[in-house]
Amino acid sequence: VQLQASGGGLVQAGGSLRLSCRASGSIRSINAIDWYRQAPGKTRDLVARMASDGSAGYADSVKGRFTISSDNAKTTVYLQTQSLKPEDTAVYYCHADVLTTSGNRYVGWGQGTQVTVSS
C-alpha cells in the first residue's frame, strides 16, 4: 500500500490550498484516511478524519475552515483548507487504515506535504 500526499505550498494568510492523499496498491477496503500535521518542535496532531461511512471529524482548531472529502472510490482523500492562518504552517501527513486484498490490516503514513502560511 502506498500513500501519496500532494498539494502543499506557500500561501498568504486568508488563502486556501487543497491537499490530496492518494492510496494505491493492494487495497480491499479503506477503514479511514486521516490528515495530521506537525509544526517544527511540536507533536504530530490529528487535523481531520474521514471514516469508511463517509463521516468526518475535525480538530477544533480547523473546524469551519477545513473540509475533508473523497472521490467516489474513496481512495483519494482531499483536505480543502481555507482562511489559512500562520499557525496552520506545518508538514501535513496523510494516514490510512486499510484492509488489504490479502486480508491484512495496513496502517501507515504518506510522505508529508509542506504548508506554509505567511502573515
pLDDT of res. 52: 87
Mean pLDDT of 84-107: 96
CA atoms of 3 and 69, how far apart (whole Å): 16
Mean pLDDT of the chain: 95
pLDDT of res. 54: 87
With beta carbons less than 8 A apart as the criterion, state whether 87 and 62 touch: no
With beta carbons less than 8 A apart as the criterion, state whether 35 and 110 touch: no
pLDDT of res. 85: 98
Candidates 88, 113, 114, 80; CA nearest to 4 is 113
Residue position matching grid coordinates 501507515: 108
Percentage helix, strand, coil, to 5, in the chain? 5, 60, 35
Alpha helices in 1-119 (DSSP H): none
With beta carbons less than 8 A apart as the criterion, state whether 87 and 81 touch: no
pLDDT of res. 73: 81
Q: What is the pLDDT of residues 62-88, one digit of tens each?
A: 999 999 999 888 889 999 999 999 999
